Amino acid sequence: MNYIPQILFAIVLLLGIGYFAKNINKLVRNIKLGKKVDRTDKKGERWANMARIALGQQKMVVRPIAGFLHIIVYVGFIIINIEVLEIIIDGLFGTHRVFATLGLGAAYDILIGSFEILAFLVLVSVIVFWLRRNIIKLKRFFYPEMKGWPKNDGNIILYFEMVLMILFLTMNGADFTLQQMGADHYVQAGAFPVSQFLVPLFEGLNEGTLIIIERTAWWLHIIGILVFLNYLYFSKHLHILLAFPNTWFANLEPKGQFENLESVTKEVKLMMDPDADPFAAPAEGEMEEEPEKFGASDVMDLNQVQLLNAYTCTECGRCTSECPASQTGKKLSPRKIMMDTRDRLEEVGKNIDKNGKFEDDGKQLLDDYITREELWACTTCNACVEACPVSINPLSIIMDMRRYLVMEQSAAPTELNNMMGNVENNGAPWPYNQMDRLNWKNE
Amino acid sequence: MSETIQVPTMAEMMAAGKAPEVLFWVGCSGSFDDRAKKITKAFVKLLNKAKVDFAVLGTEESCTGDPAKRAGNEMLFQMQAMTNIEVLNGYEIKKIVTACPHCFNTIKNEYPSLGGTYEVVHHTQFLKSLLEDGRLTVEGGKFKGKRITFHDPCYLGRANDVYEAPRELIQKLDAELVEMKSCKKRGLCCGAGGAQMFKEPEKGNKDVNIERTEQAIETKPEIIAAGCPFCNTMLTDGVKGKDKEGVIEVMDVAELIANAEDL
Ligand code: SF4
Ligand code: SF4
């Protein structure tokens, strides 16, 4: 027996998975640059959310056409992965269609038959997706942040999926033809409702050529899958994995509830406590703490869930298309907030790869990526949060950056400073006297 | 005005040794803004009519801190919140009703972790329960068959998942409730939230309130119903901007009910 293909296969598999694991490590390291946040309460609700939103695709179908097509591609990918399992076993042990030889009988036919139908539906869906992006030119794929890499990325994924599906069907078609010829090693197994139509293409080819075609498609298919796996880290397609943890860690409180900063609570309590002595020296042995930075000007100031959000974003733009600011031509696009956060986080990550630890590069998320104009255009309406199919919260990042601008830099727009001055002095955002608060009663 | 309205303050109640059933949190808009004051009064009339034992804080009320928090000034927000919580806890308040979704959201969701935990309801929820308990009745006569569209305030709807209470009230008026193309979970903001009310919008090609008013106009309504003083202002401006004054009225749900009752 010739072991070379098996050894080769094992090497390819190891390389593919190894490189992927390395990048996942990097991803985890980068996410951990963020602040810790406790999102482990109400576990039951979290599992349920993950099941509903990530596994059940509940939010995708809010837009029925895209939602339906997406479910096909998604189900197709998950189920066809059972076939990948067979391919891996075959590859490692030199078997052929090992599941068929396990005596699954008719079940195997059903299995392969449904893979084929799914593969065909995936192919059709992916073509429709491609048309939506490139011919129909759906508006949400054409915002300024979608130029260059994000645009190509979207299409590369579609091409990948097309090629993988075509390879899968070609492999089956050739296999089926070989089975009919009674070729050695090619067990009579499987039903081929789609690839049977490819059989005429193979007419007149001899057994040797067919085996080459079948083997080539088989190898390219599995290598393609491994390349795809490794492509994820560089792509918005990471969502196929991260949607799960991301929905699990999502905020469970009412959307209107913004977190109260604990560091601020401490200070306010001290300020309002008549017994506190602001000039008191820290107690013996207690170190003078460095005051905590309020809000966020860079990715390290955000929390880990926000950074996970950034890696999970699929750049679908559902958030942006529902955003009132974006709809009325303002610069703000919640999708861009997420993409900028990821880009900056990647930049910081590369900096660490190179220097061993983060060396100041004179850049930050604020201004170098996200402008103040964008931040101030947000109405905090939560439409983006509601729209996101994978439970991302762009608003929380906007809020943290506003906090930095206001509390660390006193850089609010003048009108807002006036408003805040009024709240501070008269207890209302307008310059009215608090003593007049009940005047309406007698007017 | 035929009858005067009864608006007891907490201080008066306390002096008389009484505790009201509910505190009416009026809010800054409801206290100072001319348009919003009308909503406040309409709601008080309904409270009086239903003989609800309520009180206001009056001059002891202060901004909840919502616009400061949404502008990014957490420090000012928490100072406001703690001051208010001290007053509310001092009076041992248990239940609060307010006609402003921003006050509603802030007190309900953001005060508890700072030491202020109360049962907080929006005035549309409160009115709904008054009707259900038979303490208030409403006849639809005046609004029968009128086309009314309801604009979901972000801080009532998406922020807190309250979509039905205001709609049920409108339906009680025998009015024809028509929905805009984006409503409920997908309702479009009026443009005032997140402290936008207090500043000029960023550069763009349209104002948000105009966009929203256009969506409302598409439903050919006679009345645009609102449940928030800020939305009310934004949509009233929008209607003016589209030259539809006199054709379309912007009214708070409480005003609709009070009007139906000729209060
Ligand atoms: S919360 Fe801000 S960013 Fe999100 S949709 Fe509303 S305005 Fe846009
Ligand atoms: S944040 Fe959510 S809705 Fe917005 S582009 Fe990313 S995945 Fe899509």
CA distance B154 to B102: 9
C-beta neighbour count of B253 within 10 angstroms: 29
Is residue A281 predicted with pLDDT exceeding 60? no
In this structure, is residue A323 part of a structural domain?
A: yes
The verdict on A266 and A210 lying in the same domain is no
Cβ distance of B76 and A435 shorter than 8 Å? no
CB A435 within 8 A of CB B59: yes
**Which ligand is the nearest neighbour of the Cα of A399?**
1
The verdict on A76 and A183 lying in the same domain is yes
Q: Can you point out the beta strands (E) in A167-289? A: none
Among A204, A16, A164, A202, residue whose Cα is nearest residue A83? A164
Distance A362 CA to ligand 1 centre (A): 29
CB B110 within 8 A of CB B81: yes
Is residue A334 predicted with pLDDT exceeding 80? yes
The verdict on B36 and B125 lying in the same domain is yes
The model's pLDDT over A401-428, given as tens digits with 9 standing for 90+, comes to 999 999 999 999 999 999 999 999 999 9
Q: Which of B78, B95, B129 is the last residue of a domain?
A: B129
R_g over Cα of chain A: 28
What's the pLDDT at B138? 87
**Tokens matching residue A270:** 């001290």
The model's pLDDT over B175-200, given as tens digits with 9 standing for 90+, comes to 999 999 999 999 999 999 999 999 99
In this structure, is residue B4 part of a structural domain?
A: no
What's the pLDDT at A14? 95
Cβ distance of B189 and A324 shorter than 8 Å? yes
**Nearest chain A residue to B186, by CA:** A383
What's the pLDDT at A283? 55
Does B114 reach chain A within 8 Å, measured CB to CB?
Answer: yes
Among A278, A430, A168, residue whose Cα is nearest residue B233? A430
CB B63 within 8 A of CB A427: yes
The average confidence (pLDDT) of chain A is: 92
The model's pLDDT over B65-79, given as tens digits with 9 standing for 90+, comes to 999 999 999 999 999
The verdict on B21 and B117 lying in the same domain is yes
CATH number at residue B31: 3.40.50
Determine the average pLDDT of the residues in A112-131. 94
The model's pTM is: 0.93
In this structure, is residue A187 part of a structural domain?
A: yes
**Tokens matching residue A119:** 């593969």
The verdict on B109 and B181 lying in the same domain is no
Cβ distance of B194 and A271 shorter than 8 Å? no
Q: How far is B141 from chain A (nearest CA, A)?
A: 29
In this structure, is residue B72 part of a structural domain?
A: yes
Write the DSSP symbol of residue A220. Answer: H
Q: How far is A61 from chain B (nearest CA, A)?
A: 14
The verdict on A222 and A323 lying in the same domain is no
Distance B188 CA to ligand 1 centre (A): 10
| Residue A297 lies in domain | 262-278+291-429
| Residue B80 lies in domain | 10-129
In this structure, is residue B189 part of a structural domain?
A: yes
The verdict on A216 and A271 lying in the same domain is no
**How far is CA A86 from each of CA A76, A89, A92, A95, A155, rounded to the nearest angstrom?**
16, 5, 10, 9, 29
In this structure, is residue B175 part of a structural domain?
A: yes
In this structure, is residue B104 part of a structural domain?
A: yes
The average confidence (pLDDT) of chain B is: 95
Q: B41: which chain A residues are within 8 Å (Cβ-Cβ)?
A: 440
Instruction: Kindly report which listed range (A184-188, B62-66, B99-103) carries the lowest average pLDDT score.
Output: A184-188
In this structure, is residue B1 part of a structural domain?
A: no
* Adjacent-strand bridge partners of B122: B98
A64-71 contacts, C-beta under 8 A, 24 or more apart: A66/A132, A69/A125, A69/A128, A69/A129, A70/A125
Choose which residue among A309, A319, A386 to substitute to test ligand 2 binding: the one with the highest number of ligand atoms within 8 A of its C-beta.
Answer: A319
Q: B69: which chain A residues are within 8 Å (Cβ-Cβ)?
A: 258
Which bin fits B245, alpha (ψ -120 to 50), beta or left (φ > 0)?
beta
The model's pLDDT over A342-393, given as tens digits with 9 standing for 90+, comes to 999 999 999 999 999 999 999 999 999 999 999 999 999 999 999 999 999 9
What's the pLDDT at A284? 53
Determine the average pLDDT of the residues in A47-58. 94
CB B179 within 8 A of CB B219: yes
SS3 assignment, position B120: strand
In this structure, is residue A442 part of a structural domain?
A: no
What's the pLDDT at A190? 86
The model's pLDDT over B209-253, given as tens digits with 9 standing for 90+, comes to 999 999 999 999 999 999 999 999 999 999 999 999 999 999 999
What's the pLDDT at B1? 44
Instruction: Kindly report which listed range (A84-88, A330-334, B54-58, B128-132) carries the lowest average pLDDT score.
Output: A84-88
The verdict on A26 and A110 lying in the same domain is yes
Ligand 1 binding pocket includes A365 (Cβ within 6 Å): no
Contacts of A145 (CB under 8 A, 6+ apart): A333, A335, A336, A339
The verdict on B89 and B200 lying in the same domain is no
Q: Which protein residue has the closest C-alpha to ligand 1 atom 8?
A: A323
Q: Which of B97, B129, B161 is the last residue of a domain?
A: B129
**Nearest chain A residue to B1, by CA:** A443
SS3 assignment, position A98: helix
Is residue A121 predicted with pLDDT exceeding 60? yes
Distance A416 CA to ligand 1 centre (A): 18
The verdict on B162 and B246 lying in the same domain is yes
Determine the average pLDDT of the residues in A144-160. 92
Q: Complex ipTM, two decimals?
A: 0.94
In this structure, is residue A114 part of a structural domain?
A: yes
Where do we find the tokens 């601008």? A405
Is residue A79 predicted with pLDDT exceeding 90? no
Ligand 2 binding pocket includes A335 (Cβ within 6 Å): yes
The verdict on B220 and B180 lying in the same domain is yes
Instruction: Give the count of domains, chain A.
Output: 2
What's the pLDDT at B195? 92
In this structure, is residue A436 part of a structural domain?
A: no
Is residue A63 predicted with pLDDT exceeding 70? yes
Ligand 2 binding pocket includes A394 (Cβ within 6 Å): yes
* Adjacent-strand bridge partners of A366: A370
Ligand 1 binding pocket includes A392 (Cβ within 6 Å): no
Q: How many residues does chain A have?
A: 443
Cβ distance of A264 and B7 shorter than 8 Å? no
In this structure, is residue A55 part of a structural domain?
A: no
CA distance B89 to B246: 45
The verdict on B230 and B151 lying in the same domain is yes
CA distance A337 to A400: 12
The verdict on A228 and A129 lying in the same domain is yes
CA–chain centroid gap for A181, Å, is: 46
What's the pLDDT at A279? 61
φ, ψ dihedrals at A80, nearest 5°? -65, -20
Is residue B118 predicted with pLDDT exceeding 80? yes
**Which ligand is the nearest neighbour of the Cα of A256?**
1
The verdict on A179 and A268 lying in the same domain is no
The model's pLDDT over A237-249, given as tens digits with 9 standing for 90+, comes to 999 999 999 999 9
Q: Are strands B119-122 and B95-98 parallel, antiparallel or unpaired?
A: parallel
CATH number at residue A384: 1.10.1060
Among A249, A299, A287, residue whose Cα is nearest residue A37? A249
CA distance A246 to A304: 11
Residue B226 parent element (H or E): strand B223-226
In this structure, is residue B3 part of a structural domain?
A: no
Q: Which of B129, B151, B178 is the last residue of a domain?
A: B129
Determine the average pLDDT of the residues in A159-167. 94
What's the pLDDT at B108? 98
The verdict on B150 and B252 lying in the same domain is yes
Among A82, A26, A51, A38, residue whose Cα is nearest residue A243? A51
**Tokens matching residue A179:** 């089975």
Instruction: Give the count of domains, chain B.
Output: 2
What's the pLDDT at A280? 59
**Nearest chain B residue to A396, by CA:** B70
Is residue A328 predicted with pLDDT exceeding 70? yes
Ligand 2 binding pocket includes A150 (Cβ within 6 Å): no
Distance B72 CA to ligand 2 centre (A): 23
The verdict on B248 and B160 lying in the same domain is yes
**Tokens matching residue B131:** 């009707």
The verdict on B124 and B164 lying in the same domain is no
**Cα dihedral sign for A314, A318, A319, A323?**
positive
DSSP readout, B186-222?
A: GPPP-S-TTTGGGSPPPS-SS-HHHHHHHHHHHT--S
In this structure, is residue A47 part of a structural domain?
A: no
**Nearest chain A residue to B160, by CA:** A254
What's the pLDDT at B2? 45
CA distance B191 to B230: 9
The verdict on B39 and B124 lying in the same domain is yes
CA distance A145 to A130: 19
Closest by Cβ to B189, choosing from A294, A376, A379: A379
The verdict on A111 and A194 lying in the same domain is yes
Q: Quote the percentage of chain A above a pLDDT of 70.
A: 96
Ligand 1 binding pocket includes A339 (Cβ within 6 Å): no
What's the pLDDT at A100? 85
In this structure, is residue B5 part of a structural domain?
A: no
Q: Which of A200, A235, A270 is the last residue of a domain?
A: A235
CA distance A430 to B113: 27
In this structure, is residue A362 part of a structural domain?
A: yes
Q: Are strands B22-25 and B95-98 parallel, antiparallel or unpaired?
A: parallel
**Nearest chain B residue to A384, by CA:** B186
Ligand 2 binding pocket includes A315 (Cβ within 6 Å): yes
Q: Quote the percentage of chain B above a pLDDT of 70.
A: 98
The verdict on B86 and B178 lying in the same domain is no
